[in-house]
Amino acid sequence: MDYIGYSHSNLNKKKCHLFDAFTGTRTKSPRLIIDKRDRPIFGALTAPLASPDSSLLVQAGRSLYEWKVGSESWLNQYQVDRPIVQVVSFKGEIMAMNCCGDLFRIRLEPRFTVQKIDAVFEWPILNATWLVVCDDDTLLLVGYWKSFQAVRLDLSSGPKWIKVDRLENWAVFVAPEVRSQAFACKNPERCCGISENVMQSLCT
């Protein structure tokens, strides 16, 4: 089986096997019917397996597919230009980023739509970037430019990315594999003894 992504679980190949490492829950999707020339290159859940809103998004070739967890068939298909590499839930919506750093808003209902968000950078474009949500109202783009940096999405006066100088009491964890979802932890010293100074070094 080929690993094609991590979000709220791990999944593999045309019949996607999903595993929740924390609860031990397992499930698998119906077979994904795709062209023989294509293969799944990315997959992510929009919510944990136990959530009634959980859907699986899988990209194969230039198509993005949706499966409602627990249903008997794949529901939707949407054509995309470039590979999706990051998916996060933010303010009740699904945000996605492709391999070129373009940001998109994905809506599953009332119909499957993908809308590009032309967010302006007020800071040099970052390399090897990850989307990560802090609290419910802060979406960060974490990446590398001379050192690890973070920018915050501001939608108040036209979408733009604004440099974040300090993470305050948040720590962000990323993996070398860009398809693996980053996650944020508040007050990490409570569980792992990381001091605030070390935690904030990401943005200094």
Beta-ladder partners of 138: 134
Q: Look at residues 133, 185, 3, 87 and name the one whose alpha carbon lies nearest to residue 142.
A: 133
Does residue 11 have a pLDDT over 50?
Answer: no
Domain ranges of the chain: 1-117, 118-204
Does residue 202 have a pLDDT over 50?
Answer: no
For residue 52, what are the contacts with CB-CB under 8 A and spacing of at least 6? none
Q: Return the amino acid letter for 40.
A: P
| Fold observed for domain 1-117 | Methylamine Dehydrogenase; Chain H (2.130.10)
User: With 0-12 CB in 10 A as exposed, 13-18 as middle and 19+ as buried, what is 73?
Assistant: exposed
Per-residue pLDDT tens over the stretch 36-63: 777 777 888 888 888 888 899 988 888 8
Answering whether pTM is above 0.85, one says no
